[in-house]
């Protein structure tokens, strides 16, 4: 994995196979005020201290502004949440209404809202 200014490149290969590596790029969402504000939160600063290959994604959902940051060192298994994914949700006025691990959504029996 290689962290670039706008995302992370991942190369997948097996030393026991002659097939060439497969490359995939995971882009950060374009910078915006919500990503910037999320990165100023103490909890997110702690997460980013830990994360080696973080990717930040922004999406507007149901009138809320959602920032999710994943560390690509840890890939999810099919049907499971992304391990070590951190989410910050802002309301329509820009106030933080939720911050924490997305795994909690699964633990509470709720499906992800994607």
Contact indicator for 72, 8 with CB cutoff of 8 Å? yes
Q: How many domains in the chain?
A: 1
Mean of the pLDDT values across residues 90-105? 85
Q: State the pLDDT at residue 73.
A: 86
Range of the domain at 96: 29-107
Please name every residue paired with 67 in a beta bridge, in sequence order, or none if there are none: 58, 88
**On the CB side of 46, how many CA atoms lie within 13 Å of its CA?**
8
Closest CA to 91 of 34, 47, 30: 34
For 21-48, the pLDDT digits (tens) are 999 999 999 989 999 999 999 999 999 9
- 64-93 b/e (C-beta count within 10 Å ≥ 16 → b): ebbbbbbbbeeeeeeeebbebbbbbbbeee
Residue 53 belongs to some domain of the structure: yes
Q: State the pLDDT at residue 77.
A: 66
Residue 3 belongs to some domain of the structure: no
Residue 114 belongs to some domain of the structure: no
Q: State the pLDDT at residue 35.
A: 96
pTM of the model: 0.78
26/60 Cα distance (integer angstroms): 19
pLDDT at 103 over 60: yes
């Amino acid at each position: 994995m290689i962290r670039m200014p706008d995302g992370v490149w991942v190369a997948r290969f097996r030393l026991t196979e002659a097939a060439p590596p497969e490359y995939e790029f995971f882009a950060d969402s374009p910078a915006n005020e919500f990503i910037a504000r999320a990165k100023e939160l103490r909890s997110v600063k702690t997460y980013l201290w830990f994360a080696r290959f973080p990717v930040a994604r922004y999406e507007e959902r149901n009138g809320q502004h959602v920032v999710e940051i994943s560390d690509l060192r840890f890939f999810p298994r099919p049907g499971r949440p992304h391990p070590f994914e951190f989410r910050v949700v802002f309301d329509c006025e820009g106030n933080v209404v939720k911050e924490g691990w997305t795994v909690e959504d699964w633990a509470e029996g709720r499906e992800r809202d994607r």
